[in-house]
Amino acid sequence: MTSPVGTGPYRSQPPPPSGPPAWDGPPPGEARPVRQPLAEQVKELAGRLSIRWRLTITYGAMFFAAGALLVFVMYSLVGWAIKDAWTPVPLGGDVPAEISQIWDDYWLGQRSATIEAAQTYVLQRSLMALLGVGILALILGYVVADRALKPVMQMTATARKLSETSLAHERIDLQGPDDELKELADTFDAMLTRLNSAFDAQRRFVGNASHELRTPLAINRTVLEVALSDPEASEDLKVLGRTLLGTNARHERLIEGLLLLARSERDLSVRKAVDVQDVVKTAVDQLAPFAAEEGVDVEYDLHPAQATGDPVLLERCVSNLVENAVKYNNGSGGKVWVRSGIVDGASVVQVANTGILVPAYEVDALFEPFRRLHADRIESAKGAGLGLSIVRAIVRAHGGTVTAVPRDGGGLVVTVRLPGSAPATTPSAR
């Protein structure tokens, strides 16, 4: 990230290390290979084959079995046909019995030799034909299996595209006869409809409950501020009022977080072109006083990166990442690195920070609502535990992905990738 069009104080420095995930304990010992029986190896190999190849092999095996049976039948029929068509030729006249017997034995021997030669010829040619047609049958079996699995592939593609924000309009809608696959697709569509209703009900409940809770919290804040402004209020009352105001403010932040989370999980109501660089710069500037108060140095290297979405939600997404990076840092002397740019055609925002060592198995849980590292409730005063949950919901609503890995030396490296719309000449953030 040393392009001259970037902005930030550490353009000439290497990017923050991301490193491999940190082990929370000693490394695993050397694995000793275990030799499995042949039957187990065959079963394991069969389990690795895809359903398409299994159908193809099954189709080919059935064809070869039927072909082998047909070859055996033809082999037997040739012998029976020659045997039945073989006409005895008498010598005629007065021939001694010994000569007649020798002639009959010779004639029968010729019949047996002819039958054997014909059967051998038929067997050789039939096996060659069976091999050629069998290879063609395997190819046709693969094509047939592919066509048979096409509805399943359509269902898989639809399921892969599904998210909480697309349940309302994404359906398989399989067309065709009322067979088992059509029934499976219709059942899956009905399940998606029920899931969409359940998610809508959940979001409405969160939104309505949050709105209902804001009113009494606002009333409580007003009453406490009026009581604290009374000059005749005692010092104990003022201490209690300030404590209650802090608790009330924390509850208000929690309600605002729940409202934003519910809003982020809906379809985007605003979609327009956004330069991620401007969004990140705004978020960093807004949080600069907070970082200075915490004694954390924020360094950034920003490059243009076009995306499509809601600028307000994207700004909140980046603000949450930077705010979390400052909060959960080493305190005075800590560092936060922020980058933006285009990587592999995607608009990327990356935020890294110093901090405590985060085990790799704890990273995914941090994106769940109300989850903190080691489930520590002592740190709950720093936030409601919704920051990364809101980030994930906003990124998913924009069709992107968010990943996090432990940083060497402590802290996290969080990377957000959004579908980019920048031209190919846009400078890379790498």
Helix (H, G, I), strand (E, B) or coil at 66: helix
For 101-121, write each residue's pLDDT tens digit: 787 777 778 888 888 888 888
Question: Tokens at residue 103, please?
Answer: 């002639």
- Confidence check: pLDDT of 135 > 60: yes
CATH code reported for the domain at 268-374+382-419? 3.30.565.10
Helices 51-85 and 97-161: crossing angle, nearest 10°? 160
Question: Tokens at residue 57, please?
Answer: 């092999």
Residue 284 pLDDT grade (very low, low, confident, very high; cuts 50, 70, 90):
very high
- Sequence spans of domains, the chain: 45-90+97-164, 268-374+382-419
Q: Which residue has the tokens 């704890």?
A: 362
Average pLDDT score over residue span 270-274: 83
Strands of the sheet containing 334-343, edge to edge, are 296-302, 334-343, 346-353, 412-419, 401-406
Q: Which range has the worst mean pLDDT, 35-39, 94-98, 226-230, 379-383? A: 379-383
More confident residue, 310 or 351: 351
Helix (H, G, I), strand (E, B) or coil at 202: helix
